[in-house]
Structure 1
Amino acid sequence: SSLQNGTKVEDVLAELSIFRAERTTPVVLFTYLNPVLRYGLEDFLSDATECGASGLLLTDLPVGADCEVERTIAESPLDFIRLVAPTTRAERVPEIAENSSGFLYYISRAGVTGARSQLRESLGDEVAELRSQVGLPVVVGFGISTPEQAREVGCASDGVVIGSALVRIMEESGVEAGARFVARLRAALD
């Protein structure tokens, strides 16, 4: 894994800069708050923007947890993507949406990240309800691991996030296998 290999924030930003020099694909950085704070919040936001990041999702910073940090991020050029879970109370959704930009990331299920053989039957209805309440695109992730699941989620949402399945394939079979998997996902979504 990246952590086991000693990857640092600086390494990620350097790779991002190389990637963005050749592509216009928007990139959202998914991370925890602690590495950002250790790097220096304002330095991180500046460097991430300079390297070509489009947005930031801090998986462990819910709305209202640290108003000063949240305000600093919201004032940066980066979109501030926030999480909504199946367990999020309905009355909290408008506050989360108001404190988000770019899109909302809907967690497809409770639990930890990783591939699942099936999606929950209620997922499409949940996403439709969320989309009716907010003025932002809704992207769905967590546990999506096959092109068929990506197609199903893509029909109900504005986007699909697949992380763990891609990382697993690349770790087991290499970058080329990962590229083939992404091509299959893309074909399923088109």
Structure 2
Amino acid sequence: MTTPLTVEQLHPRLGELALIDVRSPGEYASGHIPGALNVPLDRLDQALAALRATAERGELAIACASGRRAATACRQLADAGVPARVLTGGTDAWAAAGHPLERPAGARTVWAMDRQVRFAAGTLVLLGLVADRALPGTRRLAAAVGGGLVFSSLTDTCAMGRALGRLPFNRPRSDAPGLDETLAALGR
């Protein structure tokens, strides 16, 4: 079980603890809590050694947009013996409390991953149903997407989210710090 951390608890401790944002680089660049470092959830295993060392030096907190991916990351870290706290409500709660988000100059706004998944899944379902009129049997696409969503909720995984995370608009800009720079910053 991970220990929650509220926005009110985080705010005065920003400089004291290490804050990791597990959203995609595109989401992170469109607005993150000041001082947060980006380690995308799908690359958490690659950062495990650095996160373990960071947690040994002080407290580690994990954030995402709403707290769901952060909770998943905290479970993965706990399974690896790395203690971490999850920011309840994530950057959405941080912004709703009136705190500023940091945005690199020239960063574009990217939809949150859950919104991207809902849009893609809904589009595929509609396409499957509409295309079935001209090409009978394509409604199976809608059924496959529905089945994938059920599987996703039962396993708390998201293959569509992982696939969307690889699209160009969800990747870091060429001039943005990557995972290597983040790991170096954690080593300080």
Instruction: Give the TM bin, normalised by the shorter chain.
Output: under 0.3
Q: Which has the higher contact order (CA 8 A, sep 6+)?
A: 2
Bigger Rg over Cα? 2
TM-score (norm 2): 0.28
Identify the structure with the greater strand proportion. Answer: 1
